[in-house]
């Protein structure tokens, strides 16, 4: 470990008197909290001085106003909104995960399936969630189903693409496949014991990204909502020019998205005890 | 060559492990223009240890891959115990040059995999795998994942993973080339011990002359452009052999002879590349 980065790191941490030295000596949690404090501090400061150069902070709600809006939200029956949003995202995501993994394995394994399925999927993939809104209204009997569909669209493609790539690269790992063959493995064993575990790290990252994307599409989805949902509040507040709840809604979606992505990444890591990930300076 | 066959039959009752390579020709590439191997012929007697030695690019790994069934010959045939090879199978164990344990399986699960494919009951598997792991000193590492093992440990596990299927022949493709010198010597001695115990036919690919002379009953020296068998050298050094035998005059004399043959081919391969 003599890379320039780690060297710099250790030089700084030895110098405990400087501010940078102290920051580097903080533990992992400390550093993460510090990054949030700086983020909100800079935001409040820019609002306070009505910063205006390329970006205008003058009309932006300050963190304090957002905290006030958040307080109001949580003291007046927040659960009905949270529950509606969580159910929509989780249902859309669950369908996306199952379908993405199954289709990904099929497309990654068989050339004919690839030829038959990939062109329409590739055509649909770049379409943003918001463009689906009119069709979602036309295609589904209820707004609820339409909203689940839009979160599904967000989650599906990352899972699909990562699964295809994972399966393809494992199948192209000559040594791994030969190991199975010279132990007498039939297709099923190669699939179950080599291809699936070999593709798992890639599938797992698709699942984590897909989870974030499903939340990403929530505001879009809940444009269709009549009354409830965190995304609905965000959209509705914009329509009624009530700005602090918009930022609250954004942060709430960010928070729930980050939290659920973290849960997915923990769950998938538990499926792969053979993997240990170590970063520089960890 | 004949007296080795007689010797093998006299000393043990080996009934399987006969490998016959007949007119093996392999061509690759666009309309099969590049000839990798040209009409290779040799027979490996049951229970013997044959080394394929040659400079890089002589096609020695292709010979091994053809016997394994990984590569389909353009022409000719390979018979293992009189059965024509058409595809890979558990009757031909393979130890790869690269570390090839499945990263998501523990040592135990890696060695067990072949038995599971065969449908051997769990209790029997546990017993057998335990026995084999014990034999190579890996029993207390049975629950480790490959990334937690040293290079030598990984190759020991790979060897027993192949052997536990009781293959007719064990094919080894430069299995120790990634190891440091000390570990390599230990692995060579361990392989000798195991071979004496199991009496399995071994075909061992290497580019290391000392290794080939130390391990083999016979060395098939391969030449380049296209790959062919240049010389078939019988190593009649007494067994069991130990690593300090590599310093005896007999050993050095044989190594010299092999070196002279192979140098010619190495020069040819360098000129043509």
Give the per-residue SS3 of A38-70.
HHHHHHHHHHHCCCEECEECCCCCCHHHHHHHH
- The whole-angstrom separation of Cα A235 and Cα A150 is 16
- Chain B residues with at least one Cβ partner in A under 8 Å: 68-70, 87-90, 92-94, 96, 98, 100, 102-105, 113-114, 116-118, 145-147, 161-162, 165
Average pLDDT over residues B37-66: 93
Q: Is the pTM of this model over 0.95?
A: no
The verdict on whether omega for the bond into residue A148 sits within 30 degrees of 0, i.e. cis, is no
- Reply yes or no on whether the pLDDT at B205 is more than 90: yes
Residue A176, min C-alpha distance to chain B (Å): 7
The model's pLDDT over A117-147, given as tens digits with 9 standing for 90+, comes to 999 999 999 998 889 999 999 999 999 999 9
Do B21 and B78 form a contact (C-beta atoms < 8 A)? Answer: yes
- Cα atoms found within 13 Å of the Cα of residue B135, Cβ hemisphere only: 21
Instruction: Count interface pairs A-B at CB distance under 8 A.
Output: 65
CB within 8 Å of B200: residues ≥ 6 apart: B17, B47, B93, B163, B167, B168, B169, B170
C-beta atoms of B117 and A175 within 8 A: no
What domains appear along chain A, each with residue ranges and CATH number?
Answer: 4-60 (no CATH), 66-270 (1.10.3720.10)
Q: List chain B residues with CB under 8 Å of A181.
A: 69-70, 87-89
pLDDT of residue B8: 46
> Which ranges constitute the DSSP H helices of chain A?
4-14, 19-25, 28-48, 63-75, 79-109, 111-124, 133-139, 143-171, 174-181, 187-190, 196-216, 218-221, 230-239, 243-270
ipTM for the assembly: 0.88
SS3 B219: strand
Domain-wise residue ranges, chain B: 2-93+171-272
- Any idea what DSSP says for residue B74? S
| Element at B61 (helix H, strand E) | helix B60-68
pLDDT at B244: 86
B-chain residues within 8 Å CB-CB of A182? Answer: 68-70, 88-90, 92-94, 162
d(C-alpha A239, C-alpha A26), whole Å? 44
Residue pair A141/B48 in contact by the 8 Å Cβ criterion: no
Tell if the CB–CB gap between A184 and B117 is shorter than 8 Å.
yes
Q: For B214, which DSSP code?
A: H
- Are the beta carbons of A158 and A104 closer than 8 angstroms? no
What is the tens place of the pLDDT at every residue in B84-106?
A: 999 999 999 999 998 999 999 99
Q: What percent of chain B has pLDDT over 90?
A: 74
Look at A24 and A234; give whichever has higher pLDDT: A234
Give the chain B residue whose CA is nearest to the CA of A272.
B104
Q: What CATH architecture does domain B2-93+171-272 belong to?
A: 3-Layer(aba) Sandwich (3.40)
Let me know if B128 is exposed, middle or buried by CB neighbors in 10 A (0-12, 13-18, 19+). middle
Tokens for A212?
């974030």
Rounded CA separation A162/B52 (Å): 42
């Amino acid at each position: 470990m003599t890379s320039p980065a780690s060297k710099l790191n250790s030089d700084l941490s030895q110098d405990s008197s400087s501010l940078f030295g102290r920051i580097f000596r903080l533990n992992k949690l400390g550093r993460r909290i510090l990054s949030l404090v700086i983020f909100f501090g800079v935001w409040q400061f820019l609002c306070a001085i009505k910063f205006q150069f390329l970006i205008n902070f003058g009309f932006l709600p300050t963190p304090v106003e957002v905290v006030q809006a958040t307080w109001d939200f949580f003291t007046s029956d927040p659960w009905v909104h949270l529950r509606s949003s969580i159910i929509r995202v989780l249902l859309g995501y669950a369908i996306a995960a199952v379908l993405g993994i199954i289709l990904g394995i099929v497309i990654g394994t068989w050339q004919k399936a690839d030829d038959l399925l990939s062109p329409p999927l590739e055509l649909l993939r770049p379409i943003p969630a918001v463009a689906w809104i009119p069709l979602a209204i036309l295609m589904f009997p209820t707004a609820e189903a339409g909203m689940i569909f839009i979160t599904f669209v967000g989650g599906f493609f990352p899972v699909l693409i990562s699964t295809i790539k994972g399966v393809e690269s494992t199948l192209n790992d000559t040594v791994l496949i030969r190991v199975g063959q010279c132990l007498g493995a039939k297709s099923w064993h190669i699939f179950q014991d080599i291809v699936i575990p070999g593709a798992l790290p890639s599938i797992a990252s698709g699942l984590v990204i897909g989870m974030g994307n499903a939340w990403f599409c929530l505001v879009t989805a809940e444009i269709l909502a009549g009354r409830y949902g965190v995304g609905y509040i965000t959209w509705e507040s914009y329509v009624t020019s009530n700005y602090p709840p918009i930022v609250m809604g954004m942060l709430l979606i960010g928070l729930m998205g980050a939290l659920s992505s973290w849960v997915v990444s923990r769950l998938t890591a538990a499926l792969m005890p053979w993997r240990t990930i170590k970063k520089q300076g960890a | 060559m004949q007296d080795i066959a007689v010797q093998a039959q006299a000393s043990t009752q080996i009934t399987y492990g006969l490998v016959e390579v007949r007119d093996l020709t392999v061509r690759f590439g666009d309309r099969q223009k590049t000839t990798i191997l040209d009409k290779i012929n040799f027979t490996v007697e049951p229970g013997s240890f044959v080394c394929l030695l040659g400079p890089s690019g002589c096609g020695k790994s292709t010979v091994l891959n053809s016997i394994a069934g990984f590569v389909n010959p353009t022409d000719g045939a390979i018979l293992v115990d009189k059965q024509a090879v058409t595809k890979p199978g558990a009757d031909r164990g393979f130890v790869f040059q690269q570390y090839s344990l499945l990263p998501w399986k523990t040592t135990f699960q890696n060695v067990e995999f072949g038995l599971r494919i065969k449908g051997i009951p769990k209790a029997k598997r546990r017993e057998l795998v335990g026995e084999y792991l014990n034999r190579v000193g890996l029993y207390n590492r049975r629950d480790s994942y490959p990334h937690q093992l040293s290079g030598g440990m990984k190759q020991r596990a790979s060897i027993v993973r192949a052997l536990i299927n009781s293959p007719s022949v064990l094919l080894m493709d430069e299995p120790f080339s990634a190891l440091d010198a000390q570990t390599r010597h230990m692995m060579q001695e361990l392989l000798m011990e195991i071979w004496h115990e199991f009496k399995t036919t071994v075909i061992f690919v290497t580019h290391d002359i000392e290794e080939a002379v130390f391990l083999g009953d016979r060395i098939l020296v391969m030449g380049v452009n296209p790959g062919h068998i240049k010389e078939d050298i019988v190593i009649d050094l007494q067994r069991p052999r130990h690593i300090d035998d590599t310093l005896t005059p007999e050993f050095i004399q044989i190594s010299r002879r092999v070196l002279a043959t192979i140098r010619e081919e190495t020069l040819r391969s360098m000129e043509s590349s």
